[in-house]
Amino acid sequence: MNAFPTMASLALLAAFTAGAHAESAPPTREEVRAELLEAVRTGDVIAPGDSGLKLNELYPQRYGRAAAASTTTRAEVKAEFAAARQAGELIPVGEGNVALREQFPQRYPAVAAAAGRTRAEVKAETLEAIRNGDVIAAGEADFTLRARYPQRYSGEHGPRGRFMAAAPAATTSGQ
């Protein structure tokens, strides 16, 4: 094997990297000192010991967090606060963590409930769960019928599977 091309490429690479470093001036003593003082102030230096963590990671309570820029205006915050006060969503000081709406429901307007499923949809879902064995077995804690009696719900090959495959699906007639 010829080592000349490898050595030549390494020498060429070293010449280019040395040229790149020569273009940028090294920082002055004052700049380095200012960077060090800023790192110590923010806790961005490695903590003593074997943890390998920075001081601000090891003791986050000692170092302030950078202020996050808010995207909401003061007027928007005031409007949100007024809406929360009117809806009773505020929690009074020293009263635990119960909102005013929960303490005094008669003082605030009722919240519109979201539309749920119809009776027919619930009945169809319940029948499907019974058919598949996805209901809790009587007297068994956290066991479904399928888990308690797997032979009964083994698909088309089990005795119940053949019966269920031959029987028409239950329909709901709006009752």
- Going by pLDDT thresholds of 50, 70 and 90, the confidence category of residue 7 is low
Tens-place pLDDT, residues 154-166: 765 444 444 555 5
> In terms of domains, do 143 and 126 share one?
yes
Residue 19: inside a domain: no
> In terms of domains, do 123 and 105 share one?
no
- Going by pLDDT thresholds of 50, 70 and 90, the confidence category of residue 20 is low
Residue 97: inside a domain: yes
The domain in which residue 97 lies consists of: 87-113
Comparing 16-25, 38-47, 76-85, which segment has the lowest mean pLDDT?
16-25
Residue 140: inside a domain: yes
Residue 11: inside a domain: no
Tens-place pLDDT, residues 64-104: 776 678 889 999 999 999 999 998 888 888 767 888 888 88
> In terms of domains, do 126 and 146 share one?
yes
User: Can you read off the two tokens belonging to residue 145?
Assistant: 């019928």
- Domain's final residue, options 71, 96, 113: 113
Residue 126: inside a domain: yes
Tell me how far apart the alpha carbons of residues 112 and 144 are, in angstroms, rounded to a whole number.
35
Check if the beta carbon of residue 65 is closer than 8 Å to that of residue 85.
Answer: no
The number of folded domains in the chain is 2
pLDDT for the residue 65? 73
Residue partners of 43: CB distance under 8 A and separation at least 6 = 54, 55, 56, 57, 59, 62, 63
User: Can you read off the two tokens belonging to residue 147?
Assistant: 């888990």
- Res. 21: pLDDT tops 70: no
Q: Which has more confidence, 104 or 142?
A: 104
- Averaged over 20-33, what is the pLDDT? 81
Confidence (pTM):
0.31
